[in-house]
Structure 1
């Protein structure tokens, strides 16, 4: 249970409830409610708690062997949208932000034409650390609740369209028969693919055989996400 993992991880690190509450800017009562199972952290609070406990949000949610306890991931807070008239800083690059994406079968999210819409700004050093070339990066919105509580409806993800080889347990944007989806992917024997949602109660794992995988085009790996509440 998630509440038990929160409590166990806190004790492993030698933190008291007040200490954890102080690290994430909340009250001891809130942490106590999480550990009792009366309520669960979501969105920004989930990411802040995971960071304070030096683990991944996925570990707190699932606690299984497919999620690594240690994580360098950080929740990225609010951001601003710039237009083409706003000058770039020396260490900045712009990445197109596709707020409404409609995919035709087989197509990706990057277009060879000049992008005229809104853009998000990233520092070159941030992208370099992630091994991302800005020429192959794009940002899109997440629709629906299948990836909650990690990615609530309306979250924004950054996608590296040059990274299409599936690494088990990583998050990808895929074109599934003409529909943009954000899923955690796993390879299956015989050329199959497993698509996992974080909201497993409503969206159980999808197992695709080799023939069904032909309907799926991996657009790219998610390298960044921002959660707006």
Structure 2
């Protein structure tokens, strides 16, 4: 079953017409129709579609996951990296656990903005070593930070927590990355443009339209790492 057919199946099970779903995710009905018919293979809206329809983004993308969106975005579960158990700072690490630093405040340095200075909150989040290995994430190259602002709503609301793989800075179209953009720390969906340019995309496209950076402007964008996980408190 294709991505489009899974979207159509989930939409019908949720009782939405194409127009209903298009309105909720902020696109025109023909755009959604093209996705469902396989004319367009864009995955830009899949996470938002998953949230609206209450299904897993992984299932829409690959057909392999079955968790609901609410389960995935809960603070005790992860987007792609399994589940959390209740613990505190006194709970010993298991053999398969590793702690990743959690930076409550991330401040960019003054000046040219090319260096990110991170102030550790002292908090850490625990992940399974085996799961990180499965996704080729090195624990010592991962960090969790807080997202501020509403540009990535509804997927990443203000104060959502994201996990960043700082070893993965090569842009894959349609993936989320943390970037240093001329001294501003931002989380955006990135696309490569012909000639070496970069497109920065927000999920909240009504308020934050796409930003296309020319080849020259792209030199001001430093990719800090790919977002591999996120968690949202509701």
Fold match (TM-score > 0.5): yes
1:204-223 map, 5 Å: 204-223=209-228
Corresponding residue for 1:94? 99
Mapped to 1, the partners of 2:208 and 2:176 lie a distance apart of 16
- Name which of 150, 157, 160 aligns with 1:152: 157
- The separation in 2 between residues aligned to 1:193 and 1:7, in whole angstroms, is 28
**Residues 152-195 of structure 1: per-residue CA shift (max 9 Å, x gap):** 11211100001111111111000111211110111112211100
1:227 equivalent in structure 2? 232
Counterpart Cα distance in 1 of 2:57 and 2:182: 40
The number of aligned residues is 193
CA deviation map 1:71-102 (0-9, x unaligned) = 7596242146844x542111100001111111
Task: Label 1:120 to 1:224 Cα distance change in 2 as closer, same or farther (>3 A).
Answer: same
Q: Where do residues 65-80 of structure 1 align in structure 2 (5 Å cutoff)? A: 70=63, 75-79=72-76
* 1:119 correspondence with 2:115: no
Select 2:185's aligned residue among 180, 184, 190. Answer: 180
Structure 2: where are the runs of 5+ without partners? 26-46, 77-85
Q: Which residue of 1 aligns with 2:114?
A: 106
Shift in Å, 1:37: 2.8
Runs of at least 5 residues in structure 1 that lack an aligned partner in the other structure: 18-30, 57-68
What CA deviation, in whole Å up to 9, does each residue of 1:125-151 have, x standing for no partner?
111111100000000111111111111
Q: TM-score w.r.t. structure 2 length?
A: 0.69
Q: Is the 8 A contact 2:189 2:201 kept in 1?
A: yes
- Structure 1 vs Structure 2 CA RMSD: 3.4
SS in structure 2 at match of 1:46? helix
Map 1:10-49 → 2, pairs under 5 A: 10=10, 17=13, 31-32=14-15, 37=20, 40=24, 46=51, 49=54
List structure 1 segments (4+ residues) > 6 angstroms apart after TM superposition: 33-36
After TM superposition, the structure 1 = structure 2 runs for residues 48-87 of structure 1, keeping only pairs within 5 Å, are 49-51=54-56, 54-56=59-61, 70=63, 75-79=72-76, 82-83=88-89, 85-87=90-92
Instruction: Tell me, yes or no, if the aligned pair for 2:6 and 2:60 is still in contact at 8 Å.
Output: no
Counterpart Cα distance in 1 of 2:151 and 2:6: 23
